[in-house]
Amino acid sequence: MSLSLPVVKPSDITPYPNGWYVVAFSHQLRPGDVQPLKAFGRELVLFRDTDGVVHMADGHCPHFGAHLGHGGRVEGNCIRCPFHGWQFAAESGECVHIPNGDRPPKLARLRKWDVTEKCNMVLVWYHDRGAAPTWEVDQLPEFDEPGWSDWSTDEWVVKAKLQDLAENDADVAHSPAMHSLTNELPRASEPEIDGAIFSWNLKITPSLQQFGLPASLKVPSGVAISVTTRRYGLAFAWIRATLPLVSSLRYRAQTIACTLPIDEDSVYLRLAHRTRRTPFRPFTKQMLKFYHQQFHQTVDEDIPVWENKIYLDRPAASRSDAGVLRFRKWARQFYSNPVPEKRASGS
Ligand code: FES
Ligand SMILES: [Fe+2]
């Protein structure tokens, strides 16, 4: 008897899709701060000049290769290398001063990256062929609304590909199977697609046992957590959650969820949460802590799957996988070599 086994081939999905990436949350980088960063398989330096403008450049100094992120300093609108003290203009990356009076050589220039800062995020554009940004990040809905708490941040390093993390929240079928938050399939709205933006809403019926309540207690029908996700490219999403409390009281929380590939095998996953302020400070604090913990637990539940799965271009998908297949079709625009139509999943 011969067995016909499926062929597992390397995927056409690459580790660094094109688009905007959150490299830091704004509140974590003050004027004068210099931070080393490893992303896209490269060594980088991130700094905020004294005028408050954020810059990112390749990390190694073109003089003798010292890392500007380890001991480099912001001096005015320049970054100063820790090794021989050469100063590079923050704006152009050009060497403008050598302490011993030598004339800066032409080759002494840092490679700068396209950076923009918006809605508490420091964003960097990545394109594997060096193309200029083809879309912009607009104002996040309700971001500037007054009455929100400070940010509460969380982060992980996950041994996985960015695509696997990105498509996870469109994959509703895994939620009741592996997340303790719910025992039921979330109800997903039709996605709204606008170029690089993919938005949809999920209604999730929470499992009360998750909160230590007896199994006999059921959530009243129609009561659900509403989660609206607005995803900008594959590397970050703006999530707005509304949780029912008692009677008509609602609890609102917001999250920036972002991923940044460190190298071909690992990704930073960062979350920043905030909650609607209430007149009672300890209650606001408690609710933020609770929301943060729920998110943290959900990610911890996902990680063993992400770290051990492979990406199948042609999954054996069933009816409830329609959302994730739709997501994959939209996601192809972020890869320089789109998967040919006949081999792509979801088509
Ligand atoms: S290595 Fe940077 S100034 Fe010499
Ligand atoms: Fe998940």
pLDDT digits (tens, 9 = 90+) for 109-136: 999 999 999 999 999 999 998 999 999 9
Which ligand is nearest to the Cα of residue 164, counting in written order?
2
What pLDDT, on the 0 to 100 scale, is given for residue 210? 66
Confidence of residue 12 (pLDDT cuts 50, 70, 90): confident
Find out whether the beta carbon of 110 lies less than 6 Å from any atom of ligand 1: no
Q: Is the pLDDT of residue 246 over 50?
A: yes
Is position 145 within any domain? no
Q: Which two tokens stand for residue 192?
A: 């709204």
Alpha-carbon gap, residue 281 to 285, rounded angstroms = 6
Residue nearest to atom 3 of ligand 1 (CA): 84
Element (H, E) at 107: none
Find out whether the beta carbon of 137 lies less than 6 Å from any atom of ligand 1: no
Find out whether the beta carbon of 84 lies less than 6 Å from any atom of ligand 1: yes
Of 288, 25, 308, give the one whose Cα is nearest residue 161.
308
48 and 174 fall within a common domain: no
Q: Which atom of ligand 1 is nearest to the CA of 66?
A: 1
Distance of CA 68 from the midpoint of ligand 1 (Å): 9
Q: What is the mean pLDDT of residues 51-75?
A: 98
**Are 92 and 71 within 8 A, CB to CB?**
no
**pLDDT averaged over the chain?**
90
Alpha-carbon gap, residue 24 to 45, rounded angstroms = 12
Which ligand is nearest to the Cα of residue 303, counting in written order?
2
Is position 144 within any domain? no
Is position 6 within any domain? no
Residue nearest to atom 1 of ligand 1 (CA): 64
What pLDDT, on the 0 to 100 scale, is given for residue 342? 40
Q: Is the pLDDT of residue 157 over 80?
A: yes
Q: What is the mean pLDDT of residues 1-12?
A: 54
Is position 63 within any domain? yes
Distance of CA 189 from the midpoint of ligand 1 (Å): 55
30 and 168 fall within a common domain: no
Element (H, E) at 244: strand 236-244
- Residue 317, domain extent: 152-342
329 and 256 fall within a common domain: yes
Find out whether the beta carbon of 81 lies less than 6 Å from any atom of ligand 1: yes
Find out whether the beta carbon of 40 lies less than 6 Å from any atom of ligand 1: no
106 and 181 fall within a common domain: no
Distance of CA 26 from the midpoint of ligand 1 (Å): 28
Per the structure, the count of domains in the chain is 2
Mutate to test the pocket of ligand 1, among 58, 80, 86 (most ligand atoms within 8 A of CB): 86
Question: For residue 269, what is the DSSP state?
Answer: E
Residue nearest to atom 4 of ligand 1 (CA): 84
**Are 128 and 14 within 8 A, CB to CB?**
yes
Long-range contacts formed by 172-179: CB under 8 A, 24+ apart: 172/202, 172/320, 172/323, 172/324, 173/318, 173/320, 173/321, 173/324, 174/305, 175/204, 178/301, 178/302, 178/305, 179/298, 179/301, 179/302
Which ligand is nearest to the Cα of residue 67, counting in written order?
1
Find out whether the beta carbon of 290 lies less than 6 Å from any atom of ligand 1: no
263 and 319 fall within a common domain: yes
How far separated are the first and last CA of the chain, in Å rounded?
Answer: 33
For the domain that residue 32 is a member of, what is the CATH number? Answer: 2.102.10.10
For the domain that residue 198 is a member of, what is the CATH number? Answer: 3.90.380.10
117 and 179 fall within a common domain: no
Distance of CA 80 from the midpoint of ligand 1 (Å): 9
Q: What is the mean pLDDT of residues 172-188?
A: 87
59 and 194 fall within a common domain: no
Is position 182 within any domain? yes
Alpha-carbon gap, residue 160 to 167, rounded angstroms = 12
Alpha-carbon gap, residue 163 to 155, rounded angstroms = 18
Find out whether the beta carbon of 135 lies less than 6 Å from any atom of ligand 1: no
92, 126, 160 — which closes off a domain? 126
Q: What is the CA radius of gyration of the chain?
A: 23
326 and 264 fall within a common domain: yes
Alpha-carbon gap, residue 164 to 88, rounded angstroms = 38
34 and 77 fall within a common domain: yes
72 and 166 fall within a common domain: no
Find out whether the beta carbon of 63 lies less than 6 Å from any atom of ligand 1: yes
What pLDDT, on the 0 to 100 scale, is given for residue 221? 67
User: Amino acid identity of 150?
Assistant: D
Alpha-carbon gap, residue 252 to 232, rounded angstroms = 21
Alpha-carbon gap, residue 293 to 303, rounded angstroms = 15
Strand order in the sheet with 73-75: 73-75, 78-80, 87-89, 95-97
Distance of CA 307 from the midpoint of ligand 2 (Å): 13
170 and 266 fall within a common domain: yes
Lowest mean pLDDT among 8-12, 42-46, 49-53: 8-12
Q: Can you name the residues that pair with 22 across neighbouring β-strands?
A: 123
pLDDT digits (tens, 9 = 90+) for 283-292: 899 999 999 9
What pLDDT, on the 0 to 100 scale, is given for residue 196? 97
114 and 162 fall within a common domain: no
